[in-house]
Structure 1
Amino acid sequence: MQPWLTELQHLLAHGDAVVLVTVARVEGSTPREAGAKMIVTRESARYTIGGGHLEWRAIEIAREVLRDGMRVPHLRRLERLSLGPSLGQCCGGAVVLAFERLDVRDLDWVAALAKRMHARTATQRSVSFGPAHEPVRLADADAGAQAPECLLWDGAGFDEANALLTETIVSREFPVVLFGAGHVGAALARVLATLPCLVRWVDERDAQFPPPFVTEGLSNVTIDANDAPDEAIDEAAPGTAFVVMTHNHARDLVLAERILRRDDFVFFGMIGSRTKRRQFEHRLAAHGIDPARIARMVCPIGIEGIVDKTPEVIALSAAAQLLQAVESARAAPTAVPDSSFSMLQPLTDHDTDTR
């Protein structure tokens, strides 16, 4: 689910009027991409379109739209802002921002879009900025659409009267299966809770998981206390990222073999030392796993150059490496998995007593 969409649905359901700000077009160097969004209410601004003077000016315009929209239902406005000359930002480019005043009357399409995102259905949202104030339209995106896209059609030049904003909105959450609820596993779960992913957090030890009042804020994390944790591997979708951080080396080996036999994962990282990796390489090869697949196992986990072994630092390093793998896969979705991750091993072993 898009976080801004969840927030928008909540605000409208409670009767609040808001302005949805969208970066409709970018020209040159800009702090955020087309499609980035911010929600502005009378009291606050949530999410970001880039910060700085650009965002300050956007909030100011949004509050004008919020006020003027009390007399004009579904008020919409486009504004082109040059970052260098008018706002003093060093990016030097320009953005066209789209402002849409929304209230409870817009809840139907917002709820429909939220339902489509929950079902992971790529959707095209169309918004007219002409004088007729046509309703927002939702439709299926083009077949095969996997990446978000935002286009502003405004005829010859910047013509708000004929402008049409069309954006493809896709679910960008990637699946993660995290094994291990020890210190590092818990730290990584907290980091992943802030990222656009859906996490299945697995451990055989139910008592090892944090209490409910701690995990309430981990809205994208599902806890799975399972005596057969390897079931989570079989049930995972293609393109899942697997992270193994259990307390049991024998269990780690079983999980590693099962993951590597799939070979359709986007990332497989495991906590441990270089010695552990060498031992696992020999044992996995003896079990018939192709060396090219074994090379895709990232162990020790974490990006190069970070030597601190505290759980929180390991978790951040592992999350960064996982994001690198996801971004790489999205940039080349048809690429055949190779052993490129074997060259990204960190220089520092991770002690097993931190798990």
Structure 2
Amino acid sequence: MTWHAALHHCQQNGLPHVLATQVSALGSTPREPGARMVITPDSVIDTLGGGTFEWQTIETARRHLAGGHTGFHLEAFSLGGRSGQCCGGFVNVMLEVFPGARTHLAVFGAGHVGQAIMALSHPLPWHRHWFDSRPESLASVEPAPRLATHRLNDPAAAVRSLPSDCHVLVLTHSHDEDYALVNALCERDDLGSIGLIGSQSKWHSFKRRLQRAGNSEAALERVRCPIGTLGQGKLQDKTPYSIALSTVAELLTLADAPASLADHRGLESAALKPLFDDFKELDIP
């Protein structure tokens, strides 16, 4: 696999990765500027020339991934000093660190609203988990990046399988199934959000049952019902597409906000200055 194919695969599937690009070369170096490689937590695709210099690049890239240091990082290598190689040249490598898809969405229910939510969220860089207890409901779903489908057999077990910070929507075909899921979801305090489709009267009925089951007020306050109102009361248009559209918009406000724009506006001039200073100080024929 080439770095082009690896980059496309990682971007399409929301996988954490680093694109390493050699941006400068002075003297004798293994590769010329423009050489690239893709580094993930457990694989390396393509090469910048091999040797200790490349190993150090990989180690640095994985350290940035593990530490959540997203964005651009400029690394300098003297091929004879820091890298312990005998080329005697000097290179700078730009590391572009992509954390992968950080938002997880679990949708319980593959009815009209569930289908519309999945269609609308498809272009978003979210990992999506889609559950339904009816075997025919998900049988025709085509494979898609960052999408996993599951047969819902045990609501409690399904809820336990969700990752931390996951945003959850409950909109199955059965009120009993909805209740069992919400009851299990209330036991977790590490989820991003919990949404339940239905009216305010449905929620009042569920809330009384959930209170009798021993759920705390703090847990019940984490449940949004109705969904897709953005805190503005009832939706006037209750078609599946409208509910789905407003629900996805609501989720966008609830999902983790991206890093500040300052983190994604390139390198500060102070980071570039050493690059030019190093070149002026080197005396390489």
TM-score by length of 1: 0.53
Contact 1:150-1:166 within 8 A present in 2 as well? yes
**1:182 deviation in Å?**
1.2
Structure 1 stretches of 4+ moved >4 Å: 112-120, 151-154, 161-164, 328-331
Percent identical among aligned pairs is 25
Correspondences of 1:211-222 after superposition (within 5 Å): 212=140, 215-216=141-142, 218-222=144-148
Q: CA offsets, 1:241-269, max 9 Å, x none? A: 11100121122111101011011111111
Shift of 1:186: 1.2
1:111 aligns with 2:6: yes
Q: Please give the alpha-carbon distance, in whole angstroms, between the structure 1 residues aligned to 2:7 and 2:125.
A: 21
2:70 maps to 1:170: no
Q: Does 1:319 align with 2:248?
A: yes
Asked if 1:248 corresponds to 2:170, the answer is no
Q: 1:176 to 1:290 in 2, by over 3 A?
A: same
Larger Rg: 2
Paired residue type of 1:231: A
Asked if residue 130 in structure 1 is aligned to residue 52 in structure 2, the reply is no
Amino acid at match of 2:23: F
Instruction: Answer yes or no: is the 8 Å Cα contact 1:204–1:229 preserved in 2.
Output: no
Query: In structure 2, what is the Cα distance between the partners aligned to 1:176 and 1:235?
Result: 13
Contact 2:14–2:146 under 8 Å retained in 1: no
Query: Could you tell me how far 1:298 is from its partner in structure 2?
Result: 0.8
Contact map agreement 1:269 1:298 (CA 8 A) in 2: yes
2:135 aligned partner, one-letter code? D
Match of 2:236 among 307, 310, 313: 307
Structure 2: how far apart are the matches of 1:147 and 1:301? 34
Contact kept? 1:202, 1:229, Cα under 8 Å: no
Note the 1:1-355 alignment, pairs <5 A. Answer: 107-108=2-3, 110-111=5-6, 114=9, 120=15, 122-131=16-25, 132-133=32-33, 135-137=35-37, 138=39, 139=58, 140-142=62-64, 144-146=66-68, 148-151=70-73, 164-209=93-138, 212=140, 215-216=141-142, 218-304=144-230, 305=232, 306-328=235-257
Alpha-carbon distance in structure 1 between the residues aligned to 2:70 and 2:5: 17
Secondary structure of 2:201's counterpart equals helix
Cα 1:291–1:319 shift into 2, 3 Å = same
Give structure 2 stretches of 5+ with no counterpart.
26-31, 40-57, 77-89, 261-285
1:103-139 alpha-carbon deviations (Å, 9 max, x no partner): xxxx15753895799795x444332222532632543
Measure the CA separation in 2 of the matches of 1:195 and 1:118: 11
Cα deviation, residue 327, structure 1? 2.3
Counterpart AA for 1:169: F
1:25 aligns with: none
Which structure has more relative contact order (CA 8 Å, sep 6+)? It is 2
In the alignment, is the contact (CA less than 8 A) between 2:3 and 2:36 conserved in 1? Answer: no
CA 1:255–1:207 in 2, change beyond 3 Å: closer, same or farther? same
**Is 1:303–1:320's contact at 8 Å kept on the other side of the alignment?**
no
The whole-number CA distance in structure 2 between the counterparts of 1:208 and 1:237 is 23
Q: How far did 1:141 drift?
A: 3.5
Amino acid at match of 1:240: C
